[in-house]
């Protein structure tokens, strides 16, 4: 019955490998606050039909982030949520109105440069405290690019939260973003039915990975967490810039 629920569009071994990857990438996100969604997006992009990529990734990330936020709800910085939510609603609505996808290379380049800027320089005070800006921009980008967790993490990082607060608040933000995104794709007519069983399997594997990653997070210090977070952000930013540059030069 389980095998019958997997999508016919993918070879069996590919589906099983992606289910295993969902565990690993969710563990990465729970331990370090981000990174897993971008890795999962890359894996899905190499295997799924283009039309299914962003919606399926959105559902998987929604499940992973709901689990992470639920496991760590006591440390969510709830005061930051309303501003981010306002921006998220506006960003999703704006992105959903654009029929023709924006060139992903330009978005990758912009996000990569922004992340590097937040690591090298201190963002202005208005940006550090403007949650609606982060919600608006990242939610607009996620409709086309998929994994914008690093952008949101770059907004939260200058606040120097304790590691559990950072991961929990980031998970809450991404829950709102991915939840509204999959709702928008449903309204736009994405056919979810053929992918339901596969999505459920990915989400369940991701929940198990989130639990494992939370154990790793509890063994880290706040200083060690922020050091790892900076390295992960820098690597992701450089990767985005490289991908954008390669695409632009090839075009």
Residue 104's pLDDT is 66
Phi, psi values for residue 144, rounded to 5°: -115, -35
The pLDDT-based confidence of 4 (bands split at 50, 70, 90) is low
- In a domain, residue 1? The reply is no
Token digits for 203?
């989400």
- In a domain, residue 2? The reply is no
- In a domain, residue 4? The reply is no
* CA-closest candidate to residue 65, choices 204, 210, 217: 210
The pLDDT-based confidence of 122 (bands split at 50, 70, 90) is low
Per cent of the chain over pLDDT 90 is: 6
pLDDT in tens, 137-175: 777 776 766 667 777 877 787 777 888 898 899 889 989
Q: In degrees to the nearest 10, what's the CA dihedral of 92, 94, 95, 98? A: 150
Structural domain boundaries enclosing 25: 9-250
Tell me the pLDDT of the chain averaged across its residues: 79
Q: For the chain, what is the domain count? A: 1
- In a domain, residue 202? The reply is yes
Residue 99's pLDDT is 41
The pLDDT-based confidence of 8 (bands split at 50, 70, 90) is confident
Contact (Cβ atoms closer than 8 angstroms) between residue 40 and residue 57: yes
- In a domain, residue 159? The reply is yes
- In a domain, residue 116? The reply is yes
User: What's the whole-model pTM score?
Assistant: 0.72
- In a domain, residue 180? The reply is yes
């Amino acid at each position: 019955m389980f095998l019958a629920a997997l999508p016919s569009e993918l070879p069996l071994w590919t589906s099983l490998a992606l289910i295993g990857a969902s565990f690993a990438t969710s563990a990465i996100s729970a331990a370090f606050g981000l990174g897993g969604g971008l890795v999962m997006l890359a894996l899905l992009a190499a295997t799924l039909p283009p039309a299914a990529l962003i919606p399926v990734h959105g559902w998987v990330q929604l499940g992973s982030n709901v689990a992470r936020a639920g496991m760590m709800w006591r440390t969510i910085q709830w005061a930051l949520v309303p501003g981010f939510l306002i921006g998220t609603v506006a960003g999703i609505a704006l992105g959903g109105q654009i029929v023709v996808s924006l060139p992903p290379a330009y978005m990758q380049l912009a996000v990569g440069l922004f992340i590097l800027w937040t690591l090298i320089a201190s963002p202005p005070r208005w940006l550090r405290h403007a949650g609606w800006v982060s919600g608006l921009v990242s939610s607009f980008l996620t409709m086309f690019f998929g994994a914008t967790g690093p952008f949101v993490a770059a907004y939260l990082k200058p606040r120097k939260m304790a590691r559990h607060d950072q991961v929990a608040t980031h998970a809450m933000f991404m829950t709102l973003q991915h939840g509204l995104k999959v709702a928008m794709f449903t309204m736009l007519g994405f056919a979810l039915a053929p992918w339901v069983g596969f999505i459920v399997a990915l989400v369940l594997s991701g929940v198990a990975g989130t639990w494992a990653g939370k154990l790793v997070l509890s063994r880290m210090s706040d200083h060690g967490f922020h050091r790892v977070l900076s390295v992960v952000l820098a690597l992701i930013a450089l990767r985005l810039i490289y991908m954008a540059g390669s695409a632009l030069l090839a075009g």
